[in-house]
Amino acid sequence: MTIRVLNVFVVCFFFLGFAACGPKEQSHATDVLVIGGTTSGISAGLQSARLNVATLIVEETPWLGGMITAAGVSATDGNHRLHSGIWNEFRDKLRTYYGGAAALSTGWVSNTQFEPHVGDSIFKSMALAEPQLSVIYGYHLTEILKEGNKVTGAVFENEQKEKLTVLAKVVIDATDLGDGLAMAGAAYDLGMEARSVTGEANAPEVANNIVQDLTWAAILKDFGPEADKTIEKPASYDPELFRKSCAMTVDSIAIDCEKMLNYGKLPNKKYMINWPKYGNDIYLNVVEMNREQRMEELKKAKERTLNFVYYIQTELGFKNLGLADDEFPTEDKLALVPYHREGRRVRGIQRMTINHVLNIYEGQPLYRTGISVGDYPVDHHHDYNPDTPEIRFPAVPSFNIPLGALIPETIDGLIVSDKAISVSNIINGSTRLQPCVLLTGQAAGALAATSIKNNQNPREVNIREVQQTLLDAGAYLMPLVDVNPTDKDFQAIQRVTASGILKVKGESFHWANRTWFYPDTTLTVKDFTEGLNAFDKNSLVIEDQSVLTIKKATDIFSEFLKRDVDSEIQQLWKSFFTKEYSPGLTVTKREISVLTDELIHPFKTKTIRFDGNFE
């Protein structure tokens, strides 16, 4: 079936929601199938389609965007100063819609907050703009198709029990809980791994299956001071659950009731109700349940939220705040789906742990294979399961996620995104946040499209090719807070730092961790030659602490490349820089990055393995 015909289904499902608009059984073939139009699913679909690869997203709900739209968690966490890829594109569209960045800074938990239905409409407009992207709504996953060890497609079903079969060359599991990878037979972890498995000093000694608390979010709307929008008292109502919800201290900040509500304040006098402490978080481990069992168990999460809403309206006196009537197309006006913070995590060809974040230059250099970035601290929600072991999370810098975390150990034809990537339970507390997940999805789409174009399994793809594709899309590989994609030297600096030739400096900083490059600072001869040695062990380290000059850099490059590069450097200097060339001129990190990129071409010179080491 052609993309043109598939787009007819997009329109049909868009207007009819879950109603069927085709034969009782549909069959489609595509290059890339994305299971779930979630936060990572929509970005994966967009990136794959933009590389001119036929891509189909199959989404259970009538919305796109997953946790930041359908789940109602539209106060994004992190990446405010990391202007990367589709995250930045989506945020720019929000700013255009609302009238600027300040219009999104409505609550104190985030710099980017918006109405969920606006996010959905933006994602839909982005999807419709891509000729190679089609979306089918209203179908949930029931089966993964395989030939031997290779995933070849999936089977879906709608509420009318009508079947949809999709054959694909590459499948991306973008589900909230990793349902696709489990059906495919991929190995995975659920809950907390033992310290002996991850090597993390603060992991528990014994593994368990405890996941983070989940939340069924609600959006409240201010209907005016005279309005009474009090909902019917829930049968299970227990006000004692919420007594301390606005009588506590968080990060040395006293939380009163106004402060609690303004936590997730959205534009147009709306409030996101996703309050962890004495609020509507709840512990429900539904991951291994079937769909019917999950739906039944998750009723408890809805009840908890309705209890909290009733408490806000009655005990706290905000009867004018009612469930928004212009957000979710649901009978109860709650979000379309719950907000799952954690599910299955695939065992990938590389597992990212907190150790890879705390110091990127010790142990495995997975940072060299980075494909998405985040800056949020390790944040776990475990208030409602008394059996959860106490874990102290260390402060971390900003970080990147390695490409190998998206590829299962042994299953071919499958790429994993969203929160189900190969990370430890601990660092999942950082990698699970919305902007980071959106960027991980973009990388999954780039990997899928590259494997299609090269007729390779995802595990065979050249990492540097995927990374270059992401750079061309304005995405970060390294989470540099002081060099963004509008910088003319952005790509050169990204390639040189992602090769380890020049080092970066990470730091923990409140709720927005940072990694610095300091492009306009100088470096020593020893610093530069140590970086070249890290790239090529045949290169000698020069024990010279003097500042690097053009003349010294020329000599080092000439020795490294085994040719005289003096005239080349002079020409490059005139092409890239405005400062007058002089052999004795001190070289900045920006300048040496450009010269290194142009002379050595680190992404083309050496092939890199998924463990971050050069071949």
* pLDDT tens digits for range 152-201: 999 999 999 999 999 999 999 999 999 999 999 999 999 999 999 999 99
128: tokens are: 């419709």
The Cα 56–Cα 64 span in angstroms is 13
423: tokens are: 């990370």
The amino acid present at 458, given as its one-letter code, is P
CB count in 10 Å sphere of residue 3: 16
Q: Which CATH superfamily is domain 1-212+341-478 in?
A: FAD/NAD(P)-binding domain (3.50.50.60)
Q: Which residues of 429-447 are buried (b: 16+ CB within 10 A; e: fewer)?
A: bbbbbbbbbbbbbbbbbbb
Does residue 489 carry a pLDDT above 50? yes
**Distance of CA 260 to CAs 44, 90, 217, 302, 382, Å?**
34, 27, 15, 20, 19
Q: To the nearest 10°, the Cα dihedral for 241, 245, 251, 256?
A: -160
**C-alpha of 112 from chain center:** 15
Residues 81, 486: contact at Cβ < 8 Å? no
| Region 519-548 average pLDDT | 97
The amino acid present at 553, given as its one-letter code, is A
Q: To the nearest 10°, the Cα dihedral for 313, 316, 317, 322?
A: -20
**Distance of CA 546 to CAs 33, 524, 527, 586, Å?**
55, 5, 10, 10
Summarize pLDDT for 505-518 with one digit per residue, the tens.
Answer: 999 998 999 999 99
Q: Which of 521, 510, 519, 548 minimizes the C-alpha distance to 532? A: 548
328: tokens are: 């979710």
Summarize pLDDT for 565-589 with one digit per residue, the tens.
Answer: 999 999 999 999 999 999 999 999 9
| Region 554-560 average pLDDT | 98
Per cent of the chain over pLDDT 90 is 94
Burial of 492 per CB tally in 10 Å (0-12, 13-18, 19+)? buried
Does residue 296 carry a pLDDT above 90? yes
The values of phi and psi at residue 41, to 5°, are -65, -45
The amino acid present at 544, given as its one-letter code, is D
Residues 466, 370: contact at Cβ < 8 Å? no
What confidence score (pLDDT) does residue 12 get?
46
Q: What does R_g of the chain's alpha carbons equal in angstroms?
A: 25
**Distance of CA 218 to CAs 63, 135, 483, Å?**
16, 26, 37
Burial of 81 per CB tally in 10 Å (0-12, 13-18, 19+)? middle
Q: Which of 15, 52, 33, 271 minimizes the C-alpha distance to 151? A: 33
What confidence score (pLDDT) does residue 247 get?
83
Residues facing residue 166 across a β-bridge: 28, 154
The Cα 605–Cα 549 span in angstroms is 25
Residue 57's pLDDT band, with cuts at 50, 70 and 90, is: very high
| Region 482-500 average pLDDT | 98
**Distance of CA 64 to CAs 274, 356, 406, 552, Å?**
20, 32, 21, 54
Q: Which of 447, 369, 508, 374 minimizes the C-alpha distance to 84? A: 374
**Distance of CA 517 to CAs 87, 100, 426, Å?**
22, 28, 27
Residues of the chain within CATH 3.50.50.60 domain(s) are 1-212+341-478
Summarize pLDDT for 228-246 with one digit per residue, the tens.
Answer: 999 999 999 999 999 999 9
The Cα 132–Cα 232 span in angstroms is 47
Residues 478, 373: contact at Cβ < 8 Å? yes
What confidence score (pLDDT) does residue 8 get?
37
The Cα 480–Cα 392 span in angstroms is 27
Does residue 4 carry a pLDDT above 90? no
Residues 530, 582, 527: CA angle, nearest 5 degrees: 10
Residue 15's pLDDT band, with cuts at 50, 70 and 90, is: very low
| Three-class SS state of 543 | coil
54: tokens are: 């036929």
| Region 214-228 average pLDDT | 98
352: tokens are: 């990212």
Summarize pLDDT for 440-488 with one digit per residue, the tens.
Answer: 999 999 999 999 999 999 999 999 999 999 999 999 999 999 999 999 9
Does residue 253 carry a pLDDT above 80? no
What confidence score (pLDDT) does residue 24 get?
82
What confidence score (pLDDT) does residue 23 get?
53
